[in-house]
Structure 1
Amino acid sequence: MLSVHNLDVRYGQFRAVQGVSIEITQGDIVSLIGANGAGKSTFLKAIAGALPIYSGRVSFKDQDITDTSSSTRVQQGLSLVPEGRRLFSEMTVEENLLLGKTVQRQGDWDIERIFTTFPNLVKRRHSKTGSLSGGEQQATAIGRALMANPELLILDEVSLGLSPLVVDQVYASIESLRDAGTTILLVEQDLERAITFSQRAICMLEGRIVLDKLTADTHRDEITQAYFGLNKATQQEAS
C-alpha cells in the first residue's frame, strides 16, 4: 500500500530524515517509535505532503505521490492526524468534522458514525473545540481524518498530553478501527502501548531507521536498546 524509498527531508542543511525506506501493506498496524528529535513527525508530514521531500520517492497504492499535494493524497485515501490536533478552536466539533468531508471519497464514514465511534463527542457536538478536553479534541481530530474515508490512517503522537484513562479511551476507539481492517501507522512515545497495539515496530534514531520488526518476534529489550541507541547494531546503522 505505502512504499517509501530512500527518503531525505531537510530543514536547510539539517537532514531530519536520512535515507529512510519502509513498506506498509494493506491491513498493517505499525508503530513508529523513537526519542524526541528522532525525525518521526517530520517523516509522517513528508508522507502526508505537509513537508517537501528533498530526495527519494513515496508511492501509495502503486502510484508515485512524491510531488503531489497533501489534498491530492487525502483524495487518494491517505489521512494524517497531526501532532497537536490542529483543530479550529472557534469552530464547533461538528464544523471541524465536516471539514474532513471537503475531499469527497466513497466510504462508510459520515458524521453520525463518528459520533457512534466517539460517543463522548455527542454532547459536545455544538461546542467550540477550544472548550474541549484534550481527549475530546483528540477524538475530534481523529474523526475529522476519518470523514475522508482513508485507507491509510496516520496518527502522530496520539496520546501526547493525555491522562492514562483518556489514552485508554482513545485507544479503545482506534482498536475498533484496527479490528475493522483499517491500515494504521502511528507515532507513539509509550513503548509498551506501541508494542502491544501494533503488529510491527519501526524505530528511528537521528533520522534513520534502526529497527523494523514484527513485535511478536522482537524482545522488549531489543526495542528499548534501539530506541535509546544502546546496542552495537543500532550504533553501526545510525553512524
Structure 2
Amino acid sequence: MELKEQIDLNKLPKHIAIIMDGNGRWAKERGKLRVFGHSKGVDSVRQVVEAAVEIGVSYLTLYAFSTENWKRPKLEVIALMEILVSAINKETQTLMKNGVRLNAIGDLKQLPEACFKQLSKAIDLTSNNTNCTLTLALSYSSRQEIADATKRIVKQVCDGKLSIEQIDQDVVSSNLETANMPDPELMIRTSGEQRISNFLLWQLAYSELYFVDKLWPEFNKNDFYEAIIAYQKRERRFGLISEQLS
C-alpha cells in the first residue's frame, strides 16, 4: 500500500507548518555554493504544496526567511531574494491551477522592492482560491509578532475599545498575523535540528512536533505523507488524560 493510501483523510491536520532547514548544508555536502541548495529547495516546496492539495490540507505555512537571516552574507541574501522572485513568477500559474491562495506574514516591508511587488501581485491574483492557503513566513520573527500584537492590544485599551479585563487568549490570537487561520496541529522541521527557532511560538503551543533528519532539498511527497501518518498515530490530549478523551 502506498503511503498516501495509509492516510486517514478524516483525521487530517487542518494546518501544517514547516521549518524548511538544511538547504545550505545540502549544497556544501555536494561541493556547491549554499545558494544552489536554496534553488533546489524550491522543488521540495512544489512537491509539498502539491501533496497538501491532493489530500486536502487546508493551510500550509512555510518558514522561508527569518529576521535573523538578514545577517547572513549579503550575496547569499541577494541570491535568496532573486530565487524567491523567480519561484513566485514560475509557480503562480500552478497555484492558480491547484486553487492555492498565497499569503505572507512577517516584516514584508524589509523585502527588496521587486520581491515585494511580485509577492503582492501573486497574493492578489490568487486571493479567491479556496483549496489551500499557502503562507510564506518572510522576514519573520515570532517574538516580534507577539510584541506587535501587544502594541495593538494596548492601543485598543488606550482608545477605550477594550478593557484590561477583556484581554484573554482569544484577544491575543486575534491580534497576531495568523488571526484568520487555525493554529497548526503539526509542525515539521527538516535537517535533524530539534528546535522551533522563533517560529509561531504562540501558535505552536499544542502542535505535534515532527523532526526528520533529511535536509530540505531531499524532502518529498512521501516524507510529507510519513509525517502525517506519524501525526495520526499520536494521541493529542491537550492537558487531559486518555480516559477523558474516550
Which TM-score band applies after superposition, normalised by the shorter structure? 0.3 to 0.5
Going by fraction, where is strand more abundant, 1 or 2? 1
State the TM-score, normalizing by the size of structure 1.
Answer: 0.35
State the TM-score, normalizing by the size of structure 2.
Answer: 0.34
